[in-house]
Structure 1
Amino acid sequence: MTPEAFRPAPRAGLNASQVRAGGGPYRDVLAFLQARFPQALDWPQRLLAGEVLDAAGRPVHAQSPCPPGTLLWYWRQPPQPEARVPFELTLLHQCERLLVVDKPPFLAVSPAGRHVQETVLVRLQQQLGLHDLTPLHRLDRDTAGVLAFCVQPAHRDAYQALWRERRVHKVYEAIAPWREDLTQPFTARHRLVEPKDARFHQMQVAAGEPNSETEVARLQEIDPALVPGAPAGARLGLYRLTPQTGRKHQLRAQMAALGLPIVNDRVYPVLQPEGPDDFGRPLMLLARALRFVDPLDGREQGFESGHALPLGRNGD
């Protein structure tokens, strides 16, 4: 086995991450890790405990040399203890190539930032032992519904191409303010841009050629008394959203831009300060269905969420 072929075993269901030194020069491994990940303050302790490995799987020390190109393995750690998300995943489909789940709200898809263990990917790896799983698309942490994974690395590109080439039919449902004047159906077109400040999480609507398109259809009026977190006296509707493009936060940003912010959205139209999750007030956005033609066998594949809006406290 060559050094590049080595891959550490998962820990607590979490795959190891890798980083390669670039730039510099750095006086040692500790200096590189502190420069690359300044938000993590515990690199000295992790190095002392042997939790950072070289390309061959050997623990490295804080003072180990770190020339450009050095490959290091490590395991992500949350910056603070994670509260367990009290909702479970539902398995919709599993074969040797694809795994599809019904994701609850409040559960991130994969480890990032302060969410490491409480993610769909880690839960599946712990439950099923499938350590090569790769998400084929993304759902926001607050969004519930159908989420697909590739099981084997050899098939990733074929399936990911479906999303890159817009060959997946996606249907969402949302609860938002009622609008009598909405043309049926209405096609929303906006230019969405991501701010240069990485700390600012909202996508912005900008002038110029639209790069985001969603068909918006009003389905029925919803009794606000049935919707956790609904504003007092609000008139609400159930909407079907069919995106033709796949920009970050596309549905949430476009609905807010239309004056139809999705109920319990903590980002649009006003970014709320981070705080403890209120599991009784989930975002009223559901990835209802996915359909595509399987690129490997040509069969029509279709998956539908078993959730229903409003999402209750038990996630159903």
Structure 2
Amino acid sequence: MGMPSPLPVRDGVGATRLHVPLSGDWPTVSAYMIERFFHLDRERLLTRFDRGEIVARDGSALSRDTPLGAEEFVWYYREPPVEKAIPFEVEVLHQDRDLVVVDKPHFLPTTPGGKFVQNSALVRLRNLLDIPELTPIHRLDRATAGLLMFSTRRETRGAYQLMFENRRVQKVYEAVSDRPSDWDPSAFPLVYRNHIVKNRSEVCVRVDTAREPNSETLIELLSADEHSVHTLLRPHSGKMHQLRVHLAALGLGIRGDGFYPVLLPEAPDDFERPLQLLARELHFVDPLSGTPREFRTARTLKEGVA
């Protein structure tokens, strides 16, 4: 269990915890933070200390003169960014004492970060359902729509998280790709494997052909026409961007994907052209009740084929 925050969830967002060195060249905690967050205005940061907005583990406020070494961890609320609204709603499909299952739209991130805080599924749901402890059990890419599960209680959260860690959840996706010129429908169904590596400083994952596969997807053909290929995807593993990488490797890069097979320059969201990838189904045996459970999205891909 993580270190509990002395500050409550506010507007659906939890406080940020910062580790502060116990010794070093800074006379005070505030001096360390000024250097650590050099891109922020110095006086504005010091004013936050004066207002009692930087607190210790017991919730007591630190001053701008609190000496370095007095506290190893401090907590504070990040100042919210100016956000561009995501004009799509997250829809609750199921809610019980321990579990919430929702239909996430394209463009909405699972958790707050970077440019999106209030415009994240987690913050919207905490505010909508008034459940400050709500926590995602797994994640979907911001660009991907479909089923997403959240835990409502810390006491039972681990049981659901363990399902995903032990691959006891069957996940089913679907995607639409442009039909390549050398299209061969007889190749499907097929199982695709490779070794995916995520480097911290890079937005895309890399494929290491020299290493044993660590990702696997069963890919089935749903339908095709002269322009499009519609596939059903059953991942056996859950590596970052796995489905996007696997289809791109087969010449079936997902329509609307600005990352694979080629990383395109960053551009504003085009709400008329979402990534054609949908988390369609979730199947598992509930770890608390032992009951088989199935959920299916109510969404469809905008550019599906007949």
2:234 to 230, 242, 253: 242
Q: How does 1:35-46 map to 2 (within 5 A)?
A: 35-37=35-37, 40=40, 43-46=45-48
Q: Could you tell me how far 1:69 is from its partner in structure 2?
A: 5.5
CA RMSD of aligned residues (A): 2.2
Retained in 2: the 8 A contact 1:24–1:68? no
Residue matched to 2:191: 187
Residue matched to 1:212: 215
Residue matched to 1:231: none
Residue matched to 2:248: 256
Task: Give 3-state SS (helix, strand or coil) of 2:195's partner.
Answer: strand
Q: Could you tell me how far 1:19 is from its partner in structure 2?
A: 2.4
CA distance in 2, matches of 1:109, 1:5: 22
Q: Could you tell me how far 1:66 is from its partner in structure 2?
A: 3.2
Rate the CA distance shift 1:59–1:297 in 2: closer, same or farther, 3 A: same
Identify the range of structure 1 (82-91 vs 106-115) with the bigger mean alpha-carbon deviation.
106-115
Once the two structures are superposed, residues 7-26 of structure 1 have per-residue CA deviations (whole angstroms, 9 ceiling, x without a partner) of: 31222221212223247524
Retained in 2: the 8 A contact 1:291–1:300? yes
Q: How does 1:19-38 map to 2 (within 5 A)?
A: 19-22=18-21, 24-25=23-24, 26-37=26-37
Rate the CA distance shift 1:39–1:103 in 2: closer, same or farther, 3 A: farther
Identity of aligned residues (%): 40
Retained in 1: the 8 A contact 2:247–2:253? yes
Rate the CA distance shift 1:68–1:177 in 2: closer, same or farther, 3 A: farther
Identify the range of structure 1 (275-284 vs 39-48) with the bigger mean alpha-carbon deviation.
39-48
Retained in 1: the 8 A contact 2:185–2:221? no
The one-letter amino acid of 1:205's match is: V
Residue matched to 1:62: 64
Once the two structures are superposed, residues 282-307 of structure 1 have per-residue CA deviations (whole angstroms, 9 ceiling, x without a partner) of: 11000001111111110111111000
Task: Give 3-state SS (helix, strand or coil) of 2:300's partner.
Answer: coil
Retained in 1: the 8 A contact 2:22–2:68? no
Once the two structures are superposed, residues 78-117 of structure 1 have per-residue CA deviations (whole angstroms, 9 ceiling, x without a partner) of: 4x41111000011011011001100001111111222212
Q: Could you tell me how far 1:183 is from its partner in structure 2?
A: 1.7
When the two structures are superposed, what TM-score results if normalisation uses the length of structure 2?
0.89
Identify the range of structure 1 (285-294 vs 274-283) with the bigger mean alpha-carbon deviation.
274-283
CA distance in 2, matches of 1:148, 1:31: 41
Q: Does 1:161 align with 2:165?
A: no
Retained in 1: the 8 A contact 2:22–2:71? no
Rate the CA distance shift 1:10–1:239 in 2: closer, same or farther, 3 A: same
| Structure 2: runs of 5+ lacking an equivalent | none
Residue matched to 2:98: 97
Once the two structures are superposed, residues 205-253 of structure 1 have per-residue CA deviations (whole angstroms, 9 ceiling, x without a partner) of: 1122000000111111257xxxxxxxxxxx2111101000000111111
Task: Give 3-state SS (helix, strand or coil) of 2:245's partner.
Answer: helix
The one-letter amino acid of 2:72's match is: T
| Structure 1: runs of 5+ lacking an equivalent | 224-234
Retained in 2: the 8 A contact 1:77–1:116? no
Q: Could you tell me how far 1:137 is from its partner in structure 2?
A: 0.5
Q: How does 1:259-270 map to 2 (within 5 A)?
A: 259-270=251-262
Residue matched to 1:221: 224
CA distance in 2, matches of 1:182, 1:43: 62
Q: Does 1:170 align with 2:171?
A: yes
Rate the CA distance shift 1:163–1:109 in 2: closer, same or farther, 3 A: same
CA distance in 2, matches of 1:186, 1:99: 33
Q: How many corresponding residue pairs?
A: 295
Retained in 1: the 8 A contact 2:5–2:75? no
Identify the range of structure 1 (92-101 vs 272-281) with the bigger mean alpha-carbon deviation.
272-281
CA distance in 2, matches of 1:311, 1:236: 9
Q: How does 1:236-315 map to 2 (within 5 A)?
A: 236-310=228-302
Q: Does 1:144 align with 2:145?
A: yes
